[in-house]
Amino acid sequence: MTRLRCGGIILGFAIHHYTFDGRGASLFIKTFSAFARGDVETVPAPFFDRTLLRARSPPSISFDHSDYTPNVFQSEAPSSTLSQVVCANLKLTKEQIHSLKILAGGERVSTFRAVVAHVWKCSCIARGLASDAETQLLLPVDLRGRFKPPLPPTYIGNPTMRTKAVAKVEELVSNTLEFGANLIQRAVDNITDEFGRSLIDHLESMDLEALCKRGAMSNTSLMAISWLSVPMYDADFGWGEPILMARAQMYGSGYVYLSRVPAVDGGISVIVGLEPDSMQCFKKILYEEIEEKIL
């Protein structure tokens, strides 16, 4: 805890991803704040039964899980080390998000799909990637509602699995935003109950210590994480709602987080970590592309 001269307070949390994902962390912090206020009766009971995600016996691996191999992030051309990453917290208004949705296929396109398709496209341009290079977008998917039956809403754990969308840089950049948005939708739709169970069986036989070592991503890769459904600003420790909730640091270059902002104007934050020589161009075209398409 850090007390500021203005009277504000900063609370920092170090949470291991083995323990829970973003939604689990949010539930923990919200519960912590309720206890701090003495408002224990309103706290929903956490659900800790990890047997819901245990491997089957015998295992039944029915999908290709080659993405889940040790050093999957290692590359001959890593994007950067942590010391070479610059971060930006970029705001998109409700109107800008609406414009991106129209460009990505219409109002029914989710905010995540529309914004991430735009960020993916802009990052390829800002990084100056070769037109014939292959770019991949990594997408963690929450399986709470995809398992059959669904996991309890207060489940404490990390039921998150990774999928990816892949394209040639030229086809991603030259096509409309709808092209990238459709790639994202197809990748996410592949994550089903059976895929999740198959992956659990696959991971049971692997060396998890080696698997979980995090290397640097290639500069042709991007990982987009959605915190849009995470109740970020419900944690009142007795001082009122938070002014800001965010990560303390990025894992490295190529990570993107989408989160709500405390204001009720319908806007969101796009928190991006990129290489220093790419960030200025990225910030410029992120907004210019929207304005040009509107005009």
**In contact, 164 and 221? CB cutoff 8 Å:** no
Cβ-based neighbour number of residue 292 at 10 Å: 9
C-alpha–C-alpha distance, residues 135 and 166, integer Å: 6
Among the listed residues 39, 236, 265, 277, the single catalytic one is 236
Tokens of 217: 């991503």
In a domain, 34, yes or no: yes
In a domain, 105, yes or no: yes
Q: What are phi and psi of 273, to 5 degrees?
A: -115, 125
pLDDT of residue 176: 96
Among the listed residues 17, 39, 265, 277, the single catalytic one is 17
pLDDT of residue 76: 47
Place of tokens 């070479």: 84
Q: What average pLDDT does range 59-83 have in this prediction?
A: 69
pLDDT of residue 16: 85
- Residue 115: which CATH number? 3.30.559.10
**Average pLDDT, rounded, for the chain:** 89
Q: What share of the chain is helix, strand, coil (3-state, %, to 5)?
A: 35, 20, 45
In a domain, 62, yes or no: no
In a domain, 146, yes or no: yes
In a domain, 63, yes or no: no
Q: 191 CB contacts (<8 Å, ≥6 apart)?
A: 141, 143, 146, 161, 163
**In contact, 43 and 34? CB cutoff 8 Å:** yes
The tally of domains found in the chain comes to 1
In a domain, 68, yes or no: no
**In contact, 231 and 30? CB cutoff 8 Å:** yes
C-alpha–C-alpha distance, residues 184 and 111, integer Å: 12
**In contact, 146 and 191? CB cutoff 8 Å:** yes
**Half-sphere exposure for 64 (CA within 13 Å, toward CB):** 3
Clarify whether 17 is annotated catalytic. Answer: yes
Question: Peptide bond before 149: cis, by omega within 30 degrees of 0?
Answer: yes
In a domain, 58, yes or no: no
Kindly report which listed range (87-96, 148-157, 241-250, 273-282) carries the lowest average pLDDT score.
Answer: 241-250
C-alpha–C-alpha distance, residues 26 and 31, integer Å: 8
The confidence band for 60, taking pLDDT boundaries of 50, 70 and 90, is: very high
Q: Is residue 74's pLDDT more than 80?
A: no
In a domain, 139, yes or no: yes
Span 240-288, pLDDT tens digits: 889 888 888 888 899 999 999 877 678 999 999 999 999 999 999 999 9
pLDDT of residue 82: 53
20 lies in which domain range? 2-52+74-190+206-294
**In contact, 225 and 257? CB cutoff 8 Å:** yes
Q: Which of 65, 24, 55, 59 is nearest to 151 (CA)?
A: 24
